[in-house]
Amino acid sequence: MRILLAHTSLSGNTRDVARAIHARCEALGHDVTWIDADIQNLAQACPDGAEHDLYILGSWSINAGRTPPEMKRFIADLVEVVGKPERVAVFGTGETQWGEEYYCGAARRIAAFFGTPYPRLEIEQMPHGERDALKIQRWTDTILACTESIPHADLPRLHA
């Protein structure tokens, strides 16, 4: 599959999770467009068109569980170009010390915005050890399996 993997990260936690997801997708033979939304916009990253089979979006959370402006801007660009895709999987990092109700609030908000049926992945701060590595790997495998099980009738016909 062609997968778009976009993230925002202030201090590197979300980028670490994104890297692990990226590595797993590539190890399973998928073609991943990697986007650091803090420094790249959609047009720069996808000059030949933004349609992908699966969109994976990852964000840290700011200010009472809100979405950082860089990810908001990226999502606005994405929706303008491809609409609200059905196949959006969301992950995030956060800290429970900001309040349980705000924990990973950006990931929750983004998932709600897209109305995604995929499970969310939430990691406290940075991925720690074998337990989080396994959690990220299992989540990645789950969203890939979900995507492959959705009928592909409306997938873009850009590739075989």
Binding site for ligand FMN (CB under 6 A): 9-15, 60-65, 93-95, 98, 102-105, 125
Q: Look up residue 76 and give its amino acid.
A: A
Count CB atoms within 10 A of the CB of residue 23. 14
Do 60 and 103 touch, CB atoms closer than 8 A? no
Nearest residue to ligand FMN by CB is: 94
Handedness of CA 139, 37, 105, 60 (dihedral sign): positive
Q: Select 3 or 62, whichever has its Cβ closest to ligand FMN.
A: 62
Closer of 90 and 104 to ligand FMN (Cβ): 104
Percentage helix, strand, coil for the chain under 3-state DSSP, each rounded to 5: 45, 20, 35
Q: In the bound complex, what is the minimum distance in angstroms from residue 106's beta carbon to ligand FMN? A: 8
Write down the least CB distance from residue 66 to ligand FMN, Å.
Answer: 7
Comparing CB distances to ligand FMN, the nearer of 15 and 30 is 15
